[in-house]
Amino acid sequence: MALDHSKLKVFIDFDGTIITRDTGEELFRRYGNKEIIEGIIADINLRTISAREGWSRLFENSADITYEKIDAVAEDMQIRDGFRSFYEFAKANDLELIILSDGFSYYIQKILERENFGDLTFYSNKLSEGPDGKLFAEFPHTDEECLFCANCKRNHIISNSAEDDITMYIGNGSSDTCPVQFVDIIFARDNLLRFCEINRISYNAFDTFYDVENILKTLLAKKRIKKRRQAELKRKHIYSLG
Ligand SMILES: [Mg+2]
């Protein structure tokens, strides 16, 4: 095969992508004031408020969120069909998978370990406990200039890939709309798919990870793994800023 697999870097969203539902949304819907929470979730998805602002408001408008409550929600979360197979495929072919999440490491780690994916690298936000015992959100990976996202996925893509790498992204939601603009191959569903449509960004639609695996195998076989010009220019611009 012409492609050196080590040149292909695969970035994957977690909530709503690797798992079928969104842990954060589920948590606050379950334990918060339903009407207020739905309004905040809609604002986050429409990007009328920043992700950081969104997380803060969700915590403010919910009865005490505890680790136990998060555990209860995390227990109900299920891995999307085909992810096991895709993970094995990636392992067998030396493809690097990196999870980029605008959720929290506490539950991501738990779910990954429970499902025997504990060796996967991920970058996410963190939860901390205040002196009053309340949990609050911490954002260790924000971007200095962009105030929008909590965990800057774009920066992780830039720092985890070299200029001659080919980058691939698999996602579903509003936190994926920025990073997909910087990658070569996109797999999209839900809101992300609509975003790509509206903005004329080429993508591959997927339902399960079997779809992702099959499409990727076809692209590899047909040697259609290549850089996307627009993404390359956008990445170059970021590299030039240092
Ligand atoms: Mg998502």
Tokens representing 201? 């960004």
Does residue 50 share a domain with residue 121? no
Residue 67 Cα, ligand 1 centroid: separation in angstroms?
Answer: 21
- pLDDT value for 3: 53
Count the domains in the chain: 2
How far apart CA 44 and CA 18 sit, in angstroms, is: 20
Residue 170 Cα, ligand 1 centroid: separation in angstroms?
Answer: 9
pLDDT in tens, 161-219: 998 899 999 999 999 999 999 999 999 999 999 999 999 999 999 999 999 999 999 99
Residue 14 Cα, ligand 1 centroid: separation in angstroms?
Answer: 6
Per DSSP bridges, beta strands 96-104 and 121-129 are parallel
The Cα-based distances of 184 to 203, 209, 210 in angstroms read 9, 18, 20
pLDDT tops 80 at residue 63: no
Does residue 158 share a domain with residue 66? no
Is residue 136, in this structure, part of any structural domain at all?
no
Residue 1 Cα, ligand 1 centroid: separation in angstroms?
Answer: 32
**What does the mean pLDDT of the chain come to?**
93
pLDDT in tens, 14-36: 999 999 999 999 999 999 888 99
Does residue 223 share a domain with residue 113? yes
Domain that holds residue 233: 5-19+80-126+141-241
Does residue 27 share a domain with residue 101? no
Does residue 93 share a domain with residue 166? yes
Residue 132 Cα, ligand 1 centroid: separation in angstroms?
Answer: 30
Residue 144 Cα, ligand 1 centroid: separation in angstroms?
Answer: 23
Q: Of the residues 56, 76, 96, which one is the last residue of a structural domain?
A: 76
Please give the model's pTM, rounded to 2 decimal places: 0.94
The Cα-based distances of 58 to 37, 118, 189 in angstroms read 7, 28, 25
Does residue 61 share a domain with residue 37? yes
CATH number at residue 191: 3.40.50.1000
